[in-house]
Structure 1
Amino acid sequence: MIRSRALRVLVLALVFNPLYAAPAQVPFDVQPAGMCFRLAKRKLQGRFLHITDMHPDPHYSPGASEKSACHRKKPKKDKTRAGYYGTPFSDCDSPFSLTNFTLDYLDKKWTDDIDFVIWTGDNARHDNDRRRPRTTDEIYHLNRVMANKMQEVFLSKGIPVVPSLGNNDVWRKNILMPGPNDITHEYSSIWKAFIPFPSLQVFQRGAYYSAEVIPDHLAVVSLNTMYFYDSNKAVGGCEFKERDDPGNLQLDWLEVQLEMYRQRSMKVWLSGHVPPTPGNYFPECYVRYAEMALRYQDTILGHVFGHMNADHFTLIEARDLDVPLDENSGGYMNGSDPIGPLKKKKDKLYRELIQDFSALPKAKHIDHDQFAVVNVAPSVVPNPYLPSFRIFAYNITGAPKKYSELSRRKGHGPTLDRKQACKKGSAYQETWWCQLDKPWHSDGDAPSRTNTLWTPLGYAQYNIRKKRLNGSSKTRKPKFKLEYTTFPVSALHPPADLVASKFKYPIPLRHLPRSLRNSTVTESKFAPYQMRDLTIPAWVELAQRLARPKKEAELRRQFKKYMYQGGREG
C-alpha cells in the first residue's frame, strides 16, 4: 500500500537528457509566498534530517557478552552486558529495539519539522562474529526492513528520502563489482520507492542517482562511494587510462548532473557513505571528486557522508589537486606535529585534522574559491560511540539567484604550474592530475559562500547519553537529547518582528533544552562553535580557530569531545 502510493506520486521533471533525469519523489508545487515557499501539501520548514549507519543486528541478545558481538550468554569474566537498547562504546551493532525506537522517535517528534531526509547507508550488521557469518540474504533482508520503515515514517507523509549504498550493505564487505550486477538490481528493487523512475536504468548500472527534493530548486545526489573506496579491490580506481572504470563512469555522470543543475539555476547536496578524503578514496577518484567539488562550488551547497562514525568535518582544497610529491618524503607540511609527539596510535583522526587545519593560510590570505567542506555525521549504531542523528537548518527566504550568461562563463581553473609534471613522457601525463583544465564556477554570492536562499545555516545534533542507554530497559526507554548545535545562541531566537510574522525558529524551541529556550541567554555549553552559518568561509574560520593550540585550547577540547562523544578513537 505505502509503496504503491509513493510510486503514484512520482512526477517527471523536464530535463535535458532522460538518461540523467532526476524528477521529484513527491508533487511539490513550490511558489514564492512572502517569507518562505509553500508546498501543495506540505509547507517548507527549512530543515532536513541526515541519518546514517544504523547497522541493525537480528542476532542481538540483551544481556549477552560484548565479546560475542552481543549475540550469546555472558561469560563469567566479561563485565559488559548487552543493554536492551544497545551497548555504548562497544563493538556491538544495534538491536532492532534501538533502530525502531530512533525512527519512531523521529516519526513522532520531527516529521512535521523537516522537508527531506538524507540517509547515507550501512543498514546491515558488521561481519564481526565468526560463529554467525553474514549472508547475502540477511544483508538484503535487513536493508528491505529498514527501507520499509523509512517509507512508513517519511515517504508516506510526503517527505522525500535519498538513500545511498554503504560498504556493509554488500557481500562481501567492501567489494562491489562493476554493474549492472545482482547487487545493483537488488537495490533497485529494495529502493524502488525512493528512486525516480527515469533514473532506474542508471541506478541499475551503478547504484547512484539524483532526486529533486524541492523540484526546480534543490536536488540531492546519492553517490555510490564503493566505486571510489580504496578498499574495493574489484575496481580500477578511476585511473584516467581506464575510462570505462565504474568510478570514472560515475564521475562522468556526476559532471553531467552538476552542469544540468547549474544550467537550471538549481542547488545540490552531494551525499554518500564513505567521505571523500585522500585516505578513503583511490588517488585518481579523489582528485576528480575534489576538482569537481571546487569547479561547481556555486552549485553545490555541501557534502554529507557517514561511514566514519566519528563526528567531524574535512576540507577539500585546491592544493589537493597538486601532482603528488614523493610518497616517501613524509613529515608534516609545517615541519612538526601541531599537537605534540604522536607517542601512541591514538586519536589519529583528530591529529590528522588539526594538522591539516594548521597548514591553512592566514585569514587575510584565504581565497575561498579554493575550498569545499565535507560534513561527516556520527552513527545511529553505538559502535563505537553513541546513537546520534543530525538536523540541518537552511535558508528558505528570498528569491533564487539567476546567473547571467556572463557569470556562467566566468571562473578559473587550477592555477598550479603543471608544465614540468605533465610534460610529454612524464609519469603523470596520462593521469587525471594533468587533465584538470576546465574553468571553475566560483561566486562569492552563491549560497555556499554567503547567507542567501538555500544556504545551510546550522545543525543540531542529538544523541542518547551513555547513562541513558546503560540505564534503559524494556520498560524504561532511553531519550534523545541535544548534544550541541553549531548556531550562536542569539540565532536560535529570531527578532520579535520576525516571530510576529510567523518566521520559524531554526530549531523548534520544543527540541531545545530549557536553558536555550530563554531568549535572554547569550552563552551555552550547547553552542560551542558559535558559527554564523555553514558557508565555506564560516567552516574555514572554524578550522583556523582549531589550529590555534593556545588561544583556542578549550575549543579544541570541545571539538575532540564531540568527535568521539566522550569516548576514544578506536
Structure 2
Amino acid sequence: MRITISAFIVACSAALVVASPVQAPLQVEHEAGTAITARPKKLHGRFLHITDMHPDPFYTAHSSTKRSCHGKNPKKKQAGYWGTPDAECDSPLRLTNFTLDYLDKHWAGDIDFVVWTGDNARHDEDHQIPRTPSEIFDLNRQVAMRMEKIFLKRGIPVVPSIGNNDIWLLFASNFPHLNVATWQQNIMTPGPNSITNEFVSIWQPFVPFPQRQVFQRGAYYSTEVIPGRVAVISLNSIYFYDSNKAVGGCQYNEREDAGNLEFDWLEVQLKMYRNKNMLVYLSGHIPPSPGMYFPECYVRYVELSLRFQDIILGHLYGHMNVDYFSFVEEIDLEIIPNEDPKPDRAAADGLYETLMSEFAHLPSESDEDKLDGLAAISVAPSVVPNPFVPGFRIFSYNVSSEALVKPTGKRNHGHRRGRRGDKDKHCQEEQYSRSWKCHLDQPWHSDPDAPSRRNQAFTPLGFAQFYMPDIAEANKTHPPHFKLEYLTYELTALHPKGSGDEKFVYPVPVRQLPRSLRDGKKESSKYAPYSMTDLTIGSWVGLGRRLGAEGYGKLRRRFRKYMFVSV
C-alpha cells in the first residue's frame, strides 16, 4: 500500500489526539505586563542544575509498567501515582509540576542562575503511541514557560541545552519499497532546520538576541549569567553524539561538518571570554565520553577543555540518569598504536567498574604539572524516575566579600602544549595524519592559580543533592518529599565561623538542612562522606584517587549508592 509522507504525519497526529488522556497540562500562569528586566541585586553564591524531566502526557497511574505506564489492567507491577522507579516509564505531568513548584517555593529566592540540560519530552518506549514533533515541541514549550515564570521573571538567568529526546526528525527510510519516510530519534541534520527554527522560538526568552542567528544554525549559544564575570556556554551535544548519523563526526578533512563548526565557534567563544577576563561553565546534555562521542569530536572537546582550563569552572551534563563524575585527560590526545579501546562509560551496567578503574590511575592531587592535563566532568541525576528516583543539585561558589574584592589578574599566556609522545613519528603515517590529534598544537592556558585550580572568586565550592526517596509510596493524599541525599562539603563548611559577617555565605541555607545538620550532631556525617574543600580539579582528583585506591570500601559503597540515587 502506498503511504504518502503527509498521510503518515496526519496519522501520527491523529494517534496523539485520540490517545491523549484527560490530564492537567503543565501549570503556567501568565502575568500581563510583567517585564523581565530585573537582576538579583546580591549574589547568593548558588545555582541550580536540573536535567532530564521527561514529562509524559499519557502517563496513567495504576496502569501497566510494561506499556510505559500507559496500558490498563496490569497483571503485575502498577504505575505509581507520582512516578514509577525501576520501570521504563517517564514522568507524569504531576511530578514535573510538583518539582517545579518545589523549586519555586523553596529555592528560587536563593540562587543566581539555572543550568538546565535538556530532555523535556518523553522517550519513545510505547510504539502504540508514537511521538510526533508537535508533541515534543509542545512539551518543551510548556516546560520553558514554567522556567520563565519561576526564574527568569525573578531576574534569574536560565540556560537550557537541547537533549537527544527533544528532537525527532523525519528522515529518509532505509526501506525504499515501503515508499515512506520514518521518524528517527537522535538524528539532527546541520542547521538551520525545522528543529533549530522551532527552538529559537521556544527558547526566545533565554537566548540573547545577538546569539540567535548562531543558535538557529546549530542550537548552541552562550550567555552571561553574572554580567562581566561568569558565562555559561550551552552546547548542542547531538552534533558530537555517535548515534547521530546525519553528521560527519568532526572528521579533520570535513571542516564544514556540524560538529567541527560548533567546536570552531566554541574556540572563538572561549578566546573572547578569556580576553574579557571572564570565567565560563560548559554545559550540555550528553557528557563527553569515548563511548558516546564520535572519536574526533571527543578529541576536540578534550583539547579545548585543557587548552582553556584556566577559565573553565566546570563541565555540567545530564542524559545518563545517574550521578557520577569522570575526567577528560591529556592522554586522550596522544597517539597510541594498537591501544585497546576505552571502556564504554555509556554502558550503565559497567559504568561503576569503568570509573573505579580510571580513578585508580589518577595522578596525585598535589602534582600540579599532571593536573594541567585533567578536567572533571560532572553528571547530574534526572528528575524522571527512570530507573531511579528524582533528583537535582544546588551548587555553591565563592562569593565571599574577601574573594570578590581581590583584583583578578589577567590569565597567563599559554605556556605548554601537552605531551606530544610519538606524534612527530606517527603523524607521518597515513592512518593518523588526518586525525585532529596531529593538528591541535596551540599553547595551553592551564594555570595552578586559576579559579578551576585554587579557591578564589567564583570557584565552585560543592553541591547539595536532593532526591525523592518516598516517590513509590506516595499517593494522591500523601505527596512525596524532596530530601537532602548528600553533600560534597566538609561539615564545618555548613556553619562558617563569623557567619554573621556578610563576607561569609552559607553554601546551603540552614532551613534546607536536616535537623541533625542544623544542630551539628555527629551522626550528621552520613550526609557528608566526601569532605571536599571545594570543586577544584585537585579536589576532584583527590576524591577519585580515594575511590580508586584499595582500603576505601566504605567510601566506594557510598559512592555506588549515590550513583544510583539511593535505591
So what's the TM-score if we normalise by structure 2? Answer: 0.88
Assess if the C-alpha contact under 8 Å between 2:53 and 2:119 holds in 1: yes
Q: Secondary structure at the match of 2:222?
A: strand
The superposition leaves residues 196-248 of structure 1 with CA deviations (integer Å, 9 ceiling, x where unpaired) of 01110000000000010111001001000000001101100011100000100
Partner letter of residue 174 of structure 1? Answer: N
1:271 to 263, 283, 288: 283
Query: For 2:423 and 2:277, how far apart are their aligned partners in 1?
Result: 35
Q: Given that residues 62 and 84 in structure 1 are in contact (C-alpha distance below 8 angstroms), is that contact kept between their aligned partners in structure 2?
A: yes
1:387 and 1:463 in contact (8 A); partners too: yes
Alignment of 1:354-503 (within 5 A): 354-362=356-364, 365=367, 367-397=370-400, 398-399=403-404, 401-404=407-410, 408-465=412-469, 468-495=470-497, 497-501=498-502, 503=504
Q: Deviations over 1:45-81 (max 9, x none)?
A: 00000000000000000000100100011322x1x21
Structure 1 residues 120, 363: closer, same or farther in 2, change over 3 A?
A: closer
Alignment-derived partner of residue 337 in structure 1: none
Structure-1 residue corresponding to 2:86: 89
CA distance in 2, matches of 1:54, 1:381: 5
> Unpaired runs of 5+ in structure 1?
10-25, 29-40, 333-344
Q: Displacement of 1:498 after TM fit?
A: 3.0
Task: State the partner residue of 1:166.
Answer: 163
Report the Cα offset of residue 436 of structure 1.
Answer: 1.5
Check whether the contact 2:365–2:538 (CA below 8 A) recurs between aligned residues. no
Q: 1:533 to 1:448 in 2, by over 3 A?
A: same
Instruction: Work out whether 1:228 is the aligned partner of 2:229.
Output: no
Determine whether 1:212 maps to 2:224: yes
CA drift at 1:88: 1.4
User: Is the Cα–Cα contact under 8 Å of residues 324 and 378 in structure 2 kept in the other structure?
Assistant: yes
Equivalent position of 2:505 in the other structure: 504
* 1:149 partnered with 2:154: no
> Is the CA contact (8 Å cut-off) linking 2:196 and 2:218 kept in structure 1?
yes
Structure 2 segments unaligned to the other structure (5+ residues): 1-28, 169-183
Structure 1 counterpart of 2:546: 545
Equivalent residues of 1:52, 1:306 under 8 A apart? yes
Q: Deviations over 1:376-432 (max 9, x none)?
A: 00000000101100000000122365444xx54232112222444444343111220
2:214 to 202, 213, 224: 202
Q: Distance in 1 between matches of 2:94 and 2:243?
A: 31
- Aligned AA for 1:492? L
CA distance in 2, matches of 1:240, 1:525: 49
| Counterpart amino acid of residue 525 in structure 2 | S
Which range is displaced more, 391-400 or 251-260? 391-400
Measured after TM superposition, the shift of residue 325 of structure 1 is: 3.4
C-alpha deviation, 1:522, in angstroms: 7.9
1-side partners of 2:356 and 2:85: how far apart?
Answer: 26
- Rounded to whole Å, the distance in 2 between the matches of 1:522 and 1:299 is 38
2:4 corresponding residue in structure 1? none
- Provide the C-alpha distance between the structure 1 equivalents of 2:319 and 2:336, rounded to a whole number of angstroms: 26
Residue identity matched to 1:475:
T
The residue that corresponds to 1:70 in the other structure is 69
Distance 2:475 2:120 in 1: 24
- Counterpart Cα distance in 2 of 1:125 and 1:389: 18
The 1:491–1:117 alpha-carbon spacing in structure 2 relative to 1, beyond 3 Å, is same
Which amino acid counterpart does residue 46 of structure 1 have in structure 2? G
| Structure 2 counterpart of 1:561, one-letter code | K
Give the aligned residue type for 2:552.
E
Asked if 2 retains the 8 angstrom alpha-carbon contact of 1:490 and 1:522, the reply is: no
User: Over residues 272-324 of structure 1, what are the superposed CA-to-partner deviations in whole Å (9 max), with x where a residue is unaligned?
Assistant: 00001111100110011001000101100000000001100001111111125
Q: Do the aligned residues in 1 keep the contact of 2:196 with 2:215 (CA within 8 Å)?
A: yes
Task: State the alpha-carbon separation in 1 of the partners of residues 198 and 48 from structure 2.
Answer: 26
CA–CA distance in structure 1, aligned partners of residues 414 and 203 of structure 2: 39
In the aligned structure 2, how far is the partner of 1:520 from the partner of 1:72? Answer: 48
Give SS of 1:213's match: strand
Match of 2:556? 556
- Would you say 1:129 and 2:141 are equivalent positions? no
Secondary structure of 1:409's aligned partner:
coil
Secondary structure of the 2:394 match is strand
Residue in 2 that maps onto 1:261:
273
Number of equivalent positions: 517
Q: Which amino acid aligns with 2:52?
A: D
Retained in 2: the 8 A contact 1:87–1:382? yes
1:353 aligns with 2:360: no
Deviations 1:363-382 (A, max 9, x none): 56562111100000000000
Residue 548 (structure 2) pairs with residue 536 (structure 1): no
- Which letter does structure 2 place at the counterpart of 1:489? L
Per-residue Cα deviation, 1:428-472 (whole angstroms, up to 9, x for no partner): 11220101210011111111101100000010000000xx21221
**Helix, strand or coil for the counterpart of 1:392?**
strand
